[in-house]
Chain A
């Protein structure tokens, strides 16, 4: 049986019989995956939780679509800004003679449950990333990549919607690296912090968490803007995955196997 036949046989029959000397067979099973299992699992947990947090967060905001700065804010005080939508509660002076459905009960439950799960999964990702060198190897940009020249080349190819080459499909370019680092080490910690700063019980134990932000309403307003930044990241992320080849990128993040849509799976 030739190697090719062996490969065919193995892939079609997928048996438990060992096929000797079929080196090519092992390429997909033993080659280092594009994304480690832990990265893949925590990525999708984060995806599910992010949508839960987004939907429930929107539901909570519509019960009072007014934002303030400082410690306090209510219907009697001036706003920093208002979202021009009707509210789900009667007393809010929105100017619309219409109420949106009130879904705060389950939204608050879901928001905090998803927050716990994504936080624990993020902690697992963080700890394992430090131990496996994931951040250093996959996310920290090369010194050479941080030159203006390399930087502008990368930006220019993104702006031309250039499809990444095979090399790039197996690694991250400098813009991706910096963006992911920013999301992981700046936006996620900020969104957790500003969220906790709104909890009256949490800040009773850690008052500095809200005091340095300028007050409880400031924390709420910042939580809203950091969430917006995360939504913006999500949109760009999806567009980029689409441009780079949706099927191959999804496969890489689900099964771990790298490759392009058209080409064969690579080692």
Chain B
């Protein structure tokens, strides 16, 4: 008899487990559907590693979006500024860059197009004519090192305001003058008050070693999202049309698109 009840019990257990598994899978399906609907799935969820890391990346990106959409990166006091700030390695500068550098970047242009009402091109002086903003924040490299600096610039949201972003826009793609160097962020990061087009550092012009004359500063994400030598922005609702469609050059090189961790 006990054998029988034992077997019945295990059968019941089997059914319960089966139901639980089905419920679990359905819940995952519903979660995926909701995540898709609310734009919580990062563009690299089926990236260069064949989607193996899609679960972790989606969980990270989705929870950061829910938890940190409006939070501000920590700011520091002037006394905490790293002296000197550490400049990471840069690729050899292109001839075009050297030409612009020789002219003290007077001819440097930032062009903005895509899903905007008024595509435009800005000189550095034009960018500097907008109210200058300052942040003393940390730059963290995925390798593990970090430094704190004071950054001056114009919030990206100011420039996006000028060109008039269309309501269906979801991402801003930003390009460096360096070949194959581009990244993208969602509108929530693009409109974040600490996302700067930076032209100054510690009271001076932004040095070339730190991405001068113009660097995208994104203090809530790691260094590699803070692209140097910015010349072009495109506003879009879909990243499929850029490169391999994974959202950035570093994603194509095997790095996560969302780098807030």
Instruction: Enumerate chain A interface residues (CB-CB to B < 8 A).
Output: 18-20, 22-23, 25-26, 29-30, 60-61, 63-64, 66, 71-77, 89-92, 104-106, 108-110, 112-117, 198-205, 207, 210-211, 216-217, 220
Most chain B C-beta atoms within 10 Å of own C-beta, residue among A64, A90, A113:
A113
Inter-chain contacts of B67 with A (CB < 8 A): 202, 205
**Which of B53-61, B126-134, B150-158 has 4 or more CB atoms under 8 Å from chain A?**
B53-61
Q: What residues of chain B lie closer than 8 Å to A201, measured between beta carbons? A: 64, 68, 71, 220-221, 260-261
A109 touches which of B57, B76, B80 (Cβ 8 Å): B57
Contact B2 A64 (CB under 8 A): no
Type the 1/0 row for B107-130, where 1 means its CB is closer than 8 Å to any CB of A: 000000000000000000000000
- Knowing A30-B2, A72-B147, A200-B138 are in contact, say whether A113-B220 is a contact too (CB < 8 A): no
Asked whether B53 lies within 8 Å of A74 as measured between CB atoms, the reply is: no
Query: Are the C-beta atoms of B254 and A18 separated by less than 8 Å?
Result: no
Asked whether, in the complex, the Cβ of B260 is within 8 Å of the Cβ of A207, the reply is no
Q: Does B102 contact A (CB under 8 A)?
A: no
- Asked whether B222 is an interface residue with its Cβ less than 8 Å from the other chain, the reply is yes
Q: Which of B49, B86, B143, B220 contacts A89 (CB 8 A)?
A: B143
B255, A105: Cβ atoms closer than 8 Å: yes
Chain A residues, CB < 8 A from B138: 71-72, 200, 216
Is B93 part of the contact surface with A, judged by Cβ < 8 Å? no
Are the CB atoms of A203 and B74 closer together than 8 Å?
Answer: yes
**Cβ of A79 to closest chain B Cβ, rounded Å:** 10
- Excluding A60-B143, A75-B145, 5 further A-B contacts by CB distance (< 8 Å) are A29-B3, A64-B145, A77-B82, A115-B56, A199-B261
Question: Interface size on B (CB < 8 Å)?
Answer: 50
Q: Which residues of B contact A117 (CB under 8 A)?
A: 55-56
Interface string of B56-94 (1 = CB under 8 A from A): 110110001001100111101000101010101100000
A-B contact pairs, 10 of them (CB 8 A): A19-B3, A26-B6, A30-B6, A72-B146, A72-B148, A77-B82, A104-B143, A106-B254, A109-B52, A220-B144
Across the interface, do A108 and B255 meet the contact criterion of CB distance under 8 Å? yes
**Would you call B238 an interface residue if the criterion is a C-beta within 8 Å of the partner chain's C-beta atoms?**
no
Q: Are A116 and B144 in contact (CB under 8 A)?
A: no
Q: Nearest Cβ distance between residue B3 and chain A, in whole angstroms?
A: 5
Q: Which residue on chain B has the smallest CB distance to residue A113? A: B56
Report how far A259 CA is from B80 CA in the complex, Å: 60
Contacts of B74 in A (CB 8 A): 203-204, 207, 210-211
Question: How many angstroms between the C-alpha atoms of A192 and B72 in the bound complex?
Answer: 22
Q: In the assembled complex, which residues on chain B have CB atoms less than 8 Å from the CB atom of A216?
A: 138, 140, 146
